[in-house]
Amino acid sequence: MFFKKSDNKKLKGICSLCGEPLFSRGKYHEECLKKRDAGRAEIIELIKKSANTGRDLDVIGSQIYSIVAESYIKAIDLRNLLIWGVDEAVYNALDDGIITEEEEQAVARFMKYFDISWVEANEKGSYWKLAKAAILRDITDGNVPDVFHDEEGLLPFNFQKNEKLIWAFYNPLVDYYQRRSSTEYVGGHQGVSIKVMKGVYYRIGGFRGHPVITANLINVGKGIMAVTTKHIYFAGKIESFRIRFEKIVSFVPYDDGIGIQTDKARAKPQIFVTGDGWFTYNLVTNLAQLHL
């Protein structure tokens, strides 16, 4: 693009997109901005199509790079869009229920094709969601996953010989609360009282609220929480205990934790803030179903 300075126009700067002179206020030419936005919209649709299926990546990849070359889209912007595509694909799969092997493999193919590392994919926790979903799928299929190992001896628990460690929450430590009144649970999401049968998920979309921490809840302290095939373990400075799944009469999902009520006389409702209510809830409820 060539330009000829006009007598009645003053140079205002350089367009950040095309690199040509600007004769009006702003960072971009209006036509350049429209072209970039239209290109982004096209790329987003192509990413949605390919990330969820993992198919036709050569064709779609060629189309994406052609749009980039014509739409003033920078490399860093494209990278962010591709990473967003991984987030979107994982979220869409989980919002429908348990992630299938086909969906998991589709995301893996998409990441491999565009050379997206697990670190990049995990910027918003998507990679861990994918890994956790695979664990949940194994449990609902009747298989005990073998992915968590306490090789460094960080867990202060004396596990029984006939149980297996499935997951531990220790980084960050879990906040443990007790409800010191007889009032009912108050959840920060839609519907707090649900019955979950074996293999049935509480959808990820139901975990967007936040638990309401009121004066009735007492923070007993922080600690490590472990989940095995038979128990929930907790170890803190003030209290340490384990709870058999058979003794739990209700589960309450929260955005960043879970509440439980045991069948002991005068048992106080207990809340564990793990940072991931979706995974915690589905993990313990599906493990509990194995004992019915």
pLDDT tens digits for range 55-70:
899 999 999 999 998 8
What pLDDT does 182 receive? 45
C-alpha to C-alpha distance for 266 and 83, rounded to whole angstroms? 49
Given 140, 156, 174, the domain boundary residue is 140
C-alpha to C-alpha distance for 95 and 49, rounded to whole angstroms? 17
**Cβ-count burial of 159 within 10 angstroms (0-12 exposed, 13-18 middle, 19+ buried)?**
middle
pLDDT digits (tens, 9 = 90+) for 225-242: 999 999 999 999 999 999
Position 201 in a domain: yes
Nearest in space to 22 (alpha carbons), one of 34, 10, 36, 4: 10
Question: How many domains does one find in the chain?
Answer: 2
What pLDDT does 154 receive? 82
Question: Does 51 lie in the same domain as 96?
Answer: yes
Percent of the chain residues past pLDDT 90, beyond the cut: 43
What pLDDT does 227 receive? 97
Question: Does 235 lie in the same domain as 135?
Answer: no
Domain extent at residue 23: 13-140
